[in-house]
Amino acid sequence: MKAMMMTQICDLSENRNPLELREVPIPAPRKGGLLLKVLACGVCHTELDEIEGRTPPPRLPVIPGHQVVGRVEETGVGVGRFKKGDRVGVAWIYLACGRCGLCRSGRENLCADFRATGRDVDGGYAEYMAVSQDFAYAIPEVFSDVEAAPLLCAGAIGYRSLNLTGLRDGQRLGLTGFGASGHLVLLMVKHKFPDTKVFVFARAEKEREFARELGAVWTGDPDEASSEKLDAVIDTTPVWKPVVEALRNLDAGGRLVVNAIRKENIDQDYLLKLDYPTHLWMEKEIKSVANVTRTDVTEFLTLAAEIPIKPEVEVYPLEDANRALLEIKERRIRGAKVLQIS
pTM for the predicted model, two decimal places: 0.92
| 221 within 8 A of 215, measured Cβ to Cβ | no
Do residues 168 and 126 share a domain?
A: no
Give the residue numbers spanning the domain of 265.
Answer: 156-288
Do residues 107 and 198 share a domain?
A: no
What's the rounded Cα separation, in Å, for the pair 316 and 323? Answer: 9
Do residues 167 and 72 share a domain?
A: no
Do residues 187 and 239 share a domain?
A: yes
**What is residue 166's predicted lDDT score, i.e. its pLDDT?**
97
Give the CATH number of the domain where residue 43 resides.
3.90.180.10
**What is residue 99's predicted lDDT score, i.e. its pLDDT?**
97
Give the CATH number of the domain where residue 187 resides.
3.40.50.720
Structural domain includes residue 186: yes
Residue type, 193: F
Structural domain includes residue 300: no
Backbone angles phi, psi at 60, to 5 degrees: -130, 150
Do residues 107 and 195 share a domain?
A: no
Tens-binned pLDDT, residue by residue, of the chain (342 aa): 999 999 999 999 899 999 999 999 999 999 999 999 999 999 998 999 999 999 999 999 999 999 999 999 999 999 999 999 999 999 999 999 999 999 999 999 999 999 999 999 999 999 999 999 999 999 999 999 999 999 999 899 999 999 999 999 999 999 999 988 899 999 999 999 999 999 999 998 999 999 999 999 999 999 899 999 999 999 999 899 999 999 999 999 999 999 988 888 888 888 888 899 999 999 999 999 999 999 999 999 999 999 999 888 999 999 999 999 999 998 787 778 999 997
Structural domain includes residue 151: no
Do residues 96 and 209 share a domain?
A: no
Do residues 235 and 163 share a domain?
A: yes
CA angle 16, 93, 83 (to 5 degrees): 105
**What is residue 267's predicted lDDT score, i.e. its pLDDT?**
85
Task: List Cα–Cα distances, 100 to 111, 132, 186, in angstroms.
Answer: 7, 19, 35
Structural domain includes residue 43: yes
Strand-pair partners of 199: 174, 218
Structural domain includes residue 66: yes
Structural domain includes residue 278: yes
Structural domain includes residue 63: yes
Which of 288, 304, 331 represents a domain boundary (last residue)? 288
Structural domain includes residue 131: yes
Do residues 29 and 104 share a domain?
A: yes
Do residues 173 and 126 share a domain?
A: no
Number of domains in the chain: 2
Which of 244, 273, 288 represents a domain boundary (last residue)? 288
Do residues 95 and 211 share a domain?
A: no
Task: List Cα–Cα distances, 224 to 5, 6, 200, 201, 233, in angstroms.
Answer: 40, 38, 11, 8, 14
Do residues 318 and 281 share a domain?
A: no
| Cβ within 8 Å of residue 281, ≥6 positions away | none
Do residues 162 and 283 share a domain?
A: yes
Burial class (CB in 10 A: 0-12, 13-18, 19+), 313: buried
**What is residue 238's predicted lDDT score, i.e. its pLDDT?**
87
